[in-house]
Structure 1
Amino acid sequence: MLKKAVFLSLITNILLTSILLNPVQALELDEATRTVTLKDSGETVVLTPEQVIRGKRLFNNVCAQCHNGGITKTNPNIGLDPESLSLATPSLNNINGLVDYMKSPTSYDGESSIAELHPSIESAEIFPKMRNLTDEDLFAMAGHILVQPKIVSEKWGGGKIYY
């Protein structure tokens, strides 16, 4: 019985330590990794470690159900990988493009609104998780999407073979 209690205590300590130290990983990301494209013009911005942490937390809470690992469960041919984002119309491989998309999503070709199908600020009455998100939240989530390929490379958006 004592062995079991010690074992459970040890496991609990390991899990708590890994959970509590997880945000430190964002602090360890260098400036180059935290630098992402802001606009289509190529202008860049360096995310703060806090934005990286916040973006990951928000993405996991709001988006990961359908986009775990950068895939798109409803359309496996289009993920959140850099190539797919750059080929969208308008381009989504920058913070402003992703924020605009999260506010009012359109089809991949940009021809029609998909706000009734995809969570967005525009459709927050249908998708409650979007209701209280601020522009800063959307910025952080977009930053997370753009930083992930630098951290996990081809795994981000790589599909079933990785996740």
Structure 2
Amino acid sequence: MRVVALDIVRFFAALSVVLYHLVSRPESDAFPLLSEVTQYGYLGVSLFFMISGFVIVFSAMNRSAMAFALSRLMRLYPTLWVGVAFTVFVTWMFADSSYSFSHVMSNLTLLQNTLGFDDIDGIYWTLKAELKFYLCIFLLIQFKLDFRFPIKRKFGQIA
């Protein structure tokens, strides 16, 4: 089930974070009037995670643990791989830095810190948080713990 209103709020939460980073950084004073509004954009991270948690639980409904895991991993990892490859390429081209094969490969798993490597790009901390949440939902489904919540709607009841 797709809730368009939640997608719209999630979009604006993500946009507020982007604008916060572009406009409201302490070292930037290019847009002082806009900065008065965008300075609160960091709150979009929490809002985005709250809504995402709600949406992810809905995506787990009536699925096996394995089906849920596969759908989430297929959503997360291909984009991560493109992002890491892009970061490696840009830093190689413009920052004159390079990473070892092991360093890059560990970052492609999101387990780089566990494997003893630094993050290639720190922004992927959000994906690590998301992966941990996926694991929690996977375990709830696997051990058949009921995490659903009743929601009454106009046309009946979900769950």
TM-score between the two structures when normalised by the length of structure 1: 0.26
> Greater helix share, 1 or 2?
2
Structure showing greater Rg:
2
TM-score between the two structures when normalised by the length of structure 2: 0.27
Name which structure has the greater RCO, CA cutoff 8 Å, separation 6+. Answer: 1
